Chains A and B, each alone.
Chain A
Amino acid sequence: MIRAHGLTKRYGGKRPKTAVDDLTFEVRPGTVTGFLGPNGAGKSTTMRMLLGLDAPTSGRCTVGGRAYDRHSAPLTEVGALLEARSIHPGRSAYHHLLALAHTHGIPRARVRHVLEAAGLTEVAGRRVKGFSLGMGQRLGIATALLGDPGTLILDEPVNGLDPEGVLWIRNLLKAQAAEGRTVLVSSHLMSEMALTAEHLIIVGRGRLLADTTVERFVRDSGTRSVKVVSPAAARLAELIAGPAVTITSDTPGTLDVQGADAEHIGRTAAAHAIPLFELTPQAASLEQAFMDLTHDSVEYATPLEGAAA
């Protein structure tokens, strides 16, 4: 269980930049929770605060019931993969893990086990310097699993992985959650989260935008439309027009109707003997819903805000 309450982080002195703004959320065990937001939304900063690497400007956060640095064996509580590489490139994968294992008295057998789980046994003795992005990422995951932790906090774990690696992460996260662990995984890709996560915490500009399930997020995101193709499209448009109905048309004979469902359109057409070639409800894609939600908080698409300006 991860809890954040009023978590806030501001950087800089004279013109402070708020990276995380009054964030309150809970991450429950047993499901994969996606931590989603555009670049610069404060995901990494939040994760660093959960791990005690950054101190919050205000607010609190706990992992497994207490602040991370209050645990006597933190590696067995939380396994973390941070977006920025946290590995000395001059050390071999095996010695990197063993050095960390020594701090807790974790045996060599466990080090070999996580190396194997991450598919790194072959290259364990090689210096990390020569690792590809994907191999580095796998070593990061192996590091996170080292203490067999009850909570996993992973920042953009699929970055740089090949399709096989992406699938491996996806299955690993689901398996870990199924064992009753708490899994928080960040991403800026809605499509990836839709396949992996059940629960979503969406942030933009450091603020909480949504705390929901993937299913509810799709259902509530609303902007569904119906595609209609008919030789008498213009006439049909007149018939179904109403105050709550928006009709757009890109090509002649094709309508995109919002605010009226397929059943209503079909019945109206039948009543007036208008032939229909196509009547297709269009579910808003997750990606679109996510972009709509975060549109106003995308770092580089909106003009700079600031009281001085």
Chain B
Amino acid sequence: MTATATDTATHPSPDRATPAHPTPYRITPARVLRSEWHKLWTLRSTWITLLTACVLVLTVGITMGSTYDGDDADIDTVVFVLFGTQLSLICFAVLGILVTAGEYATGMIRASLTAVPRRLPVLWSKAAVFTAVAFTLCLVTNVVTFLVAQIWLSGSDKELSLTDDGVLGALAGSAVGITLMSLIALGLGALLRSVPGGIGAFIGSVLILPEVLTTLPLDAVDTATRYFPAQAASSLGSIEHVKDAVSPGTGLFVLALWAAAVLGAAALRLRRSDV
């Protein structure tokens, strides 16, 4: 009697005319995020660029702190100890470009978009994973570098503690600045679909162009360049208000707008173009 019941219940259909999938498998946003997280950490280049970035900031910070002799008294303390972020920014930007353009260079993008043919979740997940990783790492590195540099700076006019006014805000602001700038790089990589192209565009338009423009003797241009990404970011990582820069609030807003614009353009291209 039970045999009959079992029989009908477990009887496998002998010919799988169309292979039936009682499918627990399905694309979800969380799963795409997990996939991108996995992709990021399973490449050596990720570890190398991130480690280099952190070591650069820390080493430069220690060098600045240990060699301080009171000469640069007018420089903001956080800006002073985080001088290495100028260099680490390049590392984070390159990683951002590798995350997107690297997939085009290797052809991996075809596998990624075959797995997630609606496409946009891939870009958003890449951006989200990268933002989380870059921000966390920048913030931790900034705080550690600040504390380590203070070992030498205590007793000088640059002695400050984390709890002093504006210090945490500036350390976090610097991390936000680097994260959003390298998110722009990630977007440029997705937009241009080329690693050298992305790096060239980032260095050329984000880092060099505004410097060139400020040499022009025009006030309007001078004002306009304050709203460029690198200049807007500079307002974030300082305790004191930076001369010739917008306010931190405006800076954050403008920088976020830049990142959103570049990512938006990248999303448009991703939706429209063949791969």
Taking Cβ atoms with an 8 Å cutoff, the residues of A that contact B are 29-30, 48, 51-55, 68-69, 71-76, 80, 82, 84-92, 95-96, 98-100, 102-106, 143, 147-150, 179-181
- A76: B residues at CB distance < 8 A: 21, 23, 25
* Extra A-B contacts (14), CB below 8 Å, given A51-B117, A72-B27, A73-B26: A29-B18, A52-B113, A74-B27, A86-B110, A87-B107, A87-B111, A88-B106, A89-B106, A104-B27, A104-B115, A105-B28, A148-B19, A179-B19, A180-B17
Binds A, one of B29-37, B72-80, B186-194, B229-237: B29-37
Chain B, range 94-108, C-beta contacts under 8 Å to A: 102-103, 106-108
A84 touches B110 (CB 8 A): yes
A53 touches B274 (CB 8 A): yes
- A104: B residues at CB distance < 8 A: 25-27, 31, 115
A100 to chain B minimum Cβ distance, whole angstroms, is 5
Size category of the B interface is 35 or more
Chain B residue, CB-CB nearest to A9: B274
- With A29-B18, A148-B19 known as contacts, the answer to whether A90 contacts B115 (CB < 8 A) is no
Expressed in whole angstroms, the Cα–Cα distance for A85 and B107 within the complex equals: 6
- With A86-B108, A95-B38, A147-B25 known as contacts, the answer to whether A100 contacts B117 (CB < 8 A) is no
B12 to chain A minimum Cβ distance, whole angstroms, is 12
Question: B8 contacts the other chain (Cβ, under 8 Å)?
Answer: no
B23 to chain A minimum Cβ distance, whole angstroms, is 5
Question: B5 contacts the other chain (Cβ, under 8 Å)?
Answer: no
Number of residue pairs A-B, CB distance < 8 angstroms: 122
Chain A residue, CB-CB nearest to B109: A86
Expressed in whole angstroms, the Cα–Cα distance for A219 and B57 within the complex equals: 75
Interface centre among A68, A99, A149, by most chain B C-beta atoms within 10 angstroms, is A99
Expressed in whole angstroms, the Cα–Cα distance for A98 and B37 within the complex equals: 11
Expressed in whole angstroms, the Cα–Cα distance for A85 and B17 within the complex equals: 31
B274 touches A90 (CB 8 A): no
A78 to chain B minimum Cβ distance, whole angstroms, is 8
- With A87-B106, A104-B26 known as contacts, the answer to whether A181 contacts B42 (CB < 8 A) is no
- A148: B residues at CB distance < 8 A: 19, 21
